[in-house]
Amino acid sequence: MHTKPQPFDPKSVLELITSIETDLQRLRGMLQPPAQKFDPADPRNKTTDGKLTIEGVECCYRMFDEGKSRYSVSQAMKISFAAATHRLNSWRKAGGKKRQRVLLG
C-alpha cells in the first residue's frame, strides 16, 4: 500500500530556517570575543591641553559608526559642535563604517 506524499508547506520550512538561524546567531555570540566597550568619558580620550588622543578620535568614530549625531558626539565627548563636525568629516574621509578601526586598550 502506498501513502500519498504530504503537500509541501513553505511556511513551516521558513519557520525552521528562522529557528536554525537564531540558534546559529546565539552560538556565534558565544564564540566571538566580546566587543570592546568604549567610554566617551574616559580621561585617556583627551590630552592635557584638551585635544583628542588617538583613543578619543576612535571613540568619536565608533559613535558615528553607531549612527550618533554630531550633537550627541559633542555632548558625550565634551567637545564643541565644530570639533564634532570636523571629526565627522574625518570619519567619512577614512571610509565611514568601512574604515579600519583602532584597537582600544
Domain membership of residue 22 (yes or no) is no
Domain membership of residue 71 (yes or no) is yes
Domain membership of residue 12 (yes or no) is no
Q: What is the pLDDT of residue 3?
A: 73
Domain membership of residue 35 (yes or no) is no
Q: pTM for this structure?
A: 0.63
Number of domains in the chain: 1
Query: pLDDT, tens digit, for every residue of 10-23?
Result: 898 899 999 999 88
**For residue 40, what pLDDT band results from cuts at 50, 70 and 90?**
confident
Query: pLDDT, tens digit, for every residue of 60-105?
Result: 999 999 999 999 999 999 999 999 999 999 999 999 999 988 877 6
Q: What are phi and psi of 62, to 5 degrees?
A: -65, -35
The residue range of the domain holding 61 is: 43-98
Domain membership of residue 90 (yes or no) is yes
Domain membership of residue 2 (yes or no) is no
Q: How far apart are CA 45 and CA 104, in angstroms?
A: 10
